[in-house]
Amino acid sequence: MKFRLKFINIKKLSYEEERNSFSFNRLLSIFLFTVLISYTLYIPQKEVLSSFNIKLGKPVVENIIFQKNVTVADKNKTEEERINRIKSLIPVYKITSNTEKTKKLINDLFTLLRKARKAILKNKNKAFILQKNIKQKFGINISVTKIYKIINSEFFTKINLNELIELFALMESRGILYSKNGLRKDISGRIKLISNLNKIEIRDINSFFDMKDVKKELIGFFNNQDLTARNSKIISEILLEFIEINVSYSEDDTKKEKNKIMNAISPVFVKFQKGRVFISRDEIVSPRHMYILKKIKTFNDLNKKKVSDFFLIFFILFTLFLFTDKFYKSFEPNILNSKKIFTVTLSTLFLSALIARISIYIIPVILNSLSYKFSYDITSVFYTIPIGFAALIIAFTFNLHSSVIFSFLNAIISAMICNWNFQIALYVLIGGLSVSFGIEYYQRLKRSPVLKAGLLWLLPANLFIIILFSINTPDIKVSLLLVNIILGICSAVLSSLLASFIIPLWESFFGLLTEVRLNELVNLSLPVFREMMEKAPGTYHHSQMVASLAEAAANDLDIPQMLLTSMALYHDIGKIDNPDFFTENHSMYKNPHLKISPKESAKMIKSHINDGLERAKKLKLPEEIIHAISQHHGTKLIKFFYDKAKEEVSVDTDKILPKDYRYTGEKPINIENGIIMLADQVEAASKSLSTPTEKEIKNVIRKIIDANINEGQFDECDGLTLKALNIIGSSFLKKLTSIYHTRISYPGFNFEEKK
């Protein structure tokens, strides 16, 4: 296979070009669509009841009549239904079958006993050997006394092995439990059993065997075989070791059953027809009346907001659609920690929900304990919850794409927690989107963007939404508005502080590799780089050149450049311990390979991989950099010393094993490690050119890529396509030609030595 390197022009749109690409027609379409959806949501509706002027325990002065059909959920009856259904839940267990394994173990045990019987009858001391063999093979510790009693008993003449195996198979097929006492079951003593083949059956708990039943069955079996009671007991105790508990409680499947039941429970509703009298004149108002009125009042309030919130709905939807369009344009699949994004997102969502739930109970206590008393409502409490910290964490740890998706999820969950409050969903969503773009704007090279995004983006977004909601609320009090503004400020500040505290914990707990961490790792003032510069200056320069090539390729492929830089700078740290064995350092050290065999030379060359991995562990480097150390040579042959070894062997070259001259690392598993491998080889090869021209450099790059493809070094490399290889090759070519370009003679000087 021959790789053909092409010149590829990598062109990116500038911010100005990208902004202008947003056409007027597209903007108009979004505007009209937003108007249509907003108008659909804006539907004026009548109030459900004619009057609300009632008090508990007092008679009403006039009939309260339903103005339209309405359905109200009965919470108490729904809860009763839920409790009754949960009581009827049948716990789920799983049964596995190991009959063949058990049969083999019993056969092996009997075979071993038969073989050893004659030897033990002749020499009792052989029982110790049998004891050791049984322990090694079966993991069972049987006393020598018991072994000798079995050997001298009628065990071998009276036991029918096939019947014994059938007994074991019967017990396993019916199911073996450890104990029936304290077992989870329904009120009728039943459980649901799932087999390996997903066969489901409902069985009574008494239809299973437990260990007591098994022992009883075995003793009964041996008694029927005319064994003495003592021998029956000894053999039963031994065979009990072969019994495996094959019925176990499945918590996951039981939870699934419980969720099915919960999902199947529909709320109990009370329906009221239009024109029906809800409370008659002079009738006493009961607690049930008050409960239903409260539900209906909530319904009325929500409908009033929809009537008065046309412009608010339009603004929010139009903003969301614009953000969504920006999100699709900014989508970048190559991000750090991409494999951990799902786990971290779920964990952060859970933490956000937990803090929100706790805050709902704690915030009123704190507000009520203040010396200065002021009025607030439940919405004020919701505004105070520092939910924005979660979006800050995701935006800082991953990228814009991830944080936008997270903001939608977080908004939905927050609305659920806050009594399905639609306003809170928008409050959280707009705040999350604001910090997402704030982090993107300030970048992630330091930790300060978290505070900046929280205070300069989240805070204004919180205040804007609070003021907007308050303006659209009838009879808004200025004092309540001021309280909500203050609490919104507290939410933004707390969110920033929480995110700043949790991000380092998340980095440590999940092993995340952030741009801040990478920026710290590429600091050339670190002790490891100073040591490399002192002991292995050639390797130090080589690593920087590899980093330069890798950065160029990363930029053209839209891969995180900082990650490639750190991988390149650390990939050869294993050479620090033995720098004199590597050619780039021979200007400082004498060549030690002249005094040792090619095999020993290859061994020393290979050792820098393991030495590098040991250093990486001591330095607690991220796994991405550790992979670069172990994979940057793959399993390539150290051809120079392999060929040298074959030349030195005059007769039989078959004694020269290629495995002794191959690197013991791993093949690259992703495009980042593939780039490091190619950059390492191309940089080293380019130095062998005396006066490199563009054509010669291009030829070197092509041959190196060809060689790696032919050797199968990229067979396990994810994402390294032929297109990517062309881009990488073009990037290397541009970088190297810019480094090795021809310069004019320095004016006024003649550096050639006179003869």
- Residue 336, pLDDT > 50, answer yes
- Tens of pLDDT, residues 629-678: 998 888 888 888 887 888 776 555 567 778 888 888 888 988 889 999 99
H helices within 398-477, ranges in order?
Answer: 400-417, 422-442, 448-453, 459-471
pLDDT range class, residue 120, cuts 50, 70, 90? confident
- Tens of pLDDT, residues 228-250: 777 777 777 777 777 778 788 88
Compute the average pLDDT of residues 108-133. 76
- Residue 39, pLDDT > 60, answer no
Assigned token pair, 590: 């004498």
Per the model's pLDDT, the better-predicted residue between 242 and 36 turns out to be 242
CA distances from 410 to 108, 330, 402, 753 (A): 59, 21, 12, 73
Residue 678: per-residue pLDDT: 92
- Tens of pLDDT, residues 513-531: 878 788 888 888 888 889 8
Q: d(Cα 11, Cα 706) in Å, to the nearest integer?
A: 26
Q: d(Cα 372, Cα 377) in Å, to the nearest integer?
A: 16
Fold: same for 335-512 and 522-739: no
Residue 272: per-residue pLDDT: 63
SS3 640: helix
Cβ proximity of 495 and 452 under 8 Å? no
Q: d(Cα 281, Cα 42) in Å, to the nearest integer?
A: 35
pLDDT range class, residue 17, cuts 50, 70, 90? very low
Residue 87: per-residue pLDDT: 77
pLDDT range class, residue 316, cuts 50, 70, 90? low
Per the model's pLDDT, the better-predicted residue between 12 and 303 turns out to be 303
Compute the average pLDDT of residues 531-535. 89
pLDDT range class, residue 307, cuts 50, 70, 90? very low
- Residue 6, pLDDT > 70, answer no
Compute the average pLDDT of residues 112-121. 75
Of the listed ranges 21-35, 406-420, 540-554, 647-661, the one predicted with least confidence: 21-35
Please enumerate in sequence order all residues whose Cβ is within 8 A of that of 202, keeping only pairs 6 or more positions apart, or say none: 90, 190, 191, 192, 193
Hey, what's the torsion of the CAs at 253, 256, 258, 260, to 10 degrees? -140
- Tens of pLDDT, residues 364-409: 888 877 767 667 777 888 888 898 899 999 888 888 878 888 888 7
- Residue 348, pLDDT > 80, answer yes
Cα 356-361-362 angle, rounded to 5 deg: 90
Residue 20: per-residue pLDDT: 46
Residue 14: per-residue pLDDT: 42
Cβ proximity of 670 and 554 under 8 Å? no
Please enumerate in sequence order all residues whose Cβ is within 8 A of that of 28, keeping only pairs 6 or more positions apart, or say none: none
pLDDT above 70 covers a percentage of the chain that reads 79
Assigned token pair, 559: 């891969």
Q: d(Cα 680, Cα 609) in Å, to the nearest integer?
A: 14
Cα 502-504-508 angle, rounded to 5 deg: 115
Per DSSP, the residues of 194-245 read E-TT--EEEEEGGGSB-HHHHHHHHHHHHHHTT--HHHHHHHHHHHGGG---
* The CATH number of the domain covering residues in 335-512: 1.10.1760.20
Cβ proximity of 503 and 454 under 8 Å? no
Per the model's pLDDT, the better-predicted residue between 543 and 240 turns out to be 543
Per the model's pLDDT, the better-predicted residue between 229 and 596 turns out to be 596
Q: How many residues are listed for the chain in this entry?
A: 755
pLDDT above 90 covers a percentage of the chain that reads 2
Residue 202: per-residue pLDDT: 85
Of the listed ranges 27-36, 40-49, 444-453, 498-507, the one predicted with least confidence: 40-49
- Residue 750, pLDDT > 60, answer no
- Tens of pLDDT, residues 400-454: 878 888 888 788 778 777 777 888 888 999 898 899 888 888 877 777 788 888 8
Hey, what's the torsion of the CAs at 211, 214, 218, 224, to 10 degrees? 140
Per the model's pLDDT, the better-predicted residue between 497 and 207 turns out to be 497
Cβ proximity of 585 and 536 under 8 Å? yes
| Radius of gyration, CA atoms only, the chain | 38
Q: d(Cα 555, Cα 567) in Å, to the nearest integer?
A: 15
Residue 71: per-residue pLDDT: 62
Compute the average pLDDT of residues 23-35. 69
Q: Does domain 522-739 have CATH number 1.10.3210?
A: yes
**CA distance from start to end of the chain:** 50
Compute the average pLDDT of residues 732-744. 76
pTM comes to 0.52
Place of tokens 């306003």: 423
H helices within 55-160, ranges in order?
Answer: 75-87, 99-122, 126-138, 144-152, 155-158
- Residue 21, pLDDT > 50, answer no
> Domain locations in the chain?
92-257, 335-512, 522-739
- Give the mean pLDDT of the chain: 77
**C-alpha torsion sign, points 356, 361, 367, 373:** positive
